[in-house]
Amino acid sequence: MKGVRFWGTRGSLPVALTSEGLGRKLREVLRAARGQAIDTDADIERLLGSLPFAVAGTYGGHSSCVQIDAGSDDYFVCDMGSGLRPFGQAAMAQRNGKVQTFHIFMSHLHWDHIMGLPFFVPAFIPGNRVILYGSHRELEFALRRQQEPPSFPVGFDTIFEGRIEFRHLEPGVPHQVAGLTVTTMLQRHTGDSYGYRFESQGKALVYSTDSEHPLADPTHTERFVQFFRDADLVIFDAMYSLADAISFKADWGHSSNVVGVELCQMANVRHLCLYHHEPVFDDAAIEAMLAETRRLEEITRDASALRVSAAYDGLELSL
């Protein structure tokens, strides 16, 4: 495994940058440009590079979808949120007349993780194969139901014509999938969700979204520490602040940046990526959460440093 690319990083619902939000960024950029040389393109790049990501960029708004670069011709993806659509467009651009195989791993069946499938153009192409993996018995049922009338204009069989296959993954059992060792684990979330651990060529990647972590339960904590153990990268549901996660949003099925740091430190993880961002948060709020998480990691650091990132649509991380 070489790395990952994020195509959708929001939780619950896709969001878009509004005119008001864009206007705020533009005003900040123009203020920062006062008195600066911006005559050449290089000057402009330098200025933009000096600004915070929340001003010069955006975390984006697609819901959950992450591509794994396994270093092979096959494609590997976690979840089919609305980010699956731009991923599909990118895969189409690389097609060059060849048939393509997609292995897609499903954490669970909530809308924000399945809504991209009806818009996944590579699955419309004769000869292509799309293999959907998951530990939910209702995986096929949920995806077919999503395209039933009166909720969607085109039926599952009409557009996919048998190109989609389903594979059940027994939780806790390592499965071999096209060169990757894949293990799922049951997580605490309404309707159940499953975390994934991918291993290949001495690298380990954990995808753990839509999961609540009761801090007071040592058996639960130990299970996750073992699952995260020595991972190169953990993609973690950090939808809430700790205060929210343990107060009025307890039992909402999500976790926090603070719990992410704690579990990753205990498990000797190398890199934590905050993921499944709250749709209410604007870019400044996510950037503030990232800064707070990095400070927390620094002051609680034991031996080796834990690198902390916040996912955004388009972010690439190497393993």
Q: Name the residues that contact Zn ion, by CB under 5 A.
A: 11, 110, 112, 210
The separation between CA 211 and the C-alpha centre of its own chain, rounded to angstroms, equals 13
Least Å distance, CB 79 to Zn ion, is 8
Q: What is the DSSP string of 221-263?
A: HHHHHHHHTT-SEEEEE--B-HHHHHTTTTTSS--BHHHHHHH
Find the shortest distance in angstroms from Cβ 271 to Zn ion.
Answer: 22
Longest CA span, the chain: 62
Is the Cβ of residue 193 or residue 293 nearer to Zn ion in the bound state?
A: 193
The Cα 252–Cα 72 span in angstroms is 38
Q: Which is nearer to Zn ion, 5 or 110 (CB)?
A: 110
- C-beta of 110 vs 271, nearer to Zn ion: 110
Is the CB of 5 or the CB of 254 nearer to Zn ion?
Answer: 254
List the one residue out of 215, 179, 218, 183 whose CA is nearest residue 200: 179
Instruction: State the nearest-atom distance from the C-beta of 260 to Zn ion, in Å.
Output: 16
Cis omega (within 30 of 0) on the bond before 174? no
In angstroms, what is the minimal distance from the CB of 32 to Zn ion? 35
The residue among 114 and 306 lying less far from Zn ion, judged by its C-beta, is: 114
DSSP H stretches of helix in the chain? 19-33, 41-50, 53-56, 84-93, 111-114, 139-146, 156-160, 218-228, 242-246, 257-266, 283-300
> CA–CA distance from 309 to each of 133, 155, 233 (Å)?
27, 39, 10
Q: Is 316:4 a contact under the CB 8 Å cutoff?
A: yes
Least distance from Zn ion to the Cβ atom of residue 4, Å: 18
Instruction: Name the residue with the smallest CB distance to Zn ion.
Output: 110
Closest approach of Zn ion to the CB of residue 157, in Å: 27
Nearer to Zn ion, 190 or 226 (CB): 190
**Closest distance to Zn ion from the beta carbon of 227 (Å):** 18
Nearby residues of 71 by Cβ (< 8 Å), 6 or more positions away = 1, 2, 201
Q: What φ, ψ does residue 167 adopt, rounded to 5°?
A: -130, 125
Least separation in angstroms between CB 190 and Zn ion: 7
C-alpha neighbours within 13 Å on the C-beta side of residue 200: 20
Give whichever of 13 and 266 is closer to Zn ion, judged by the CB atom: 13
Nearer to Zn ion by C-beta: 257 or 265? 257
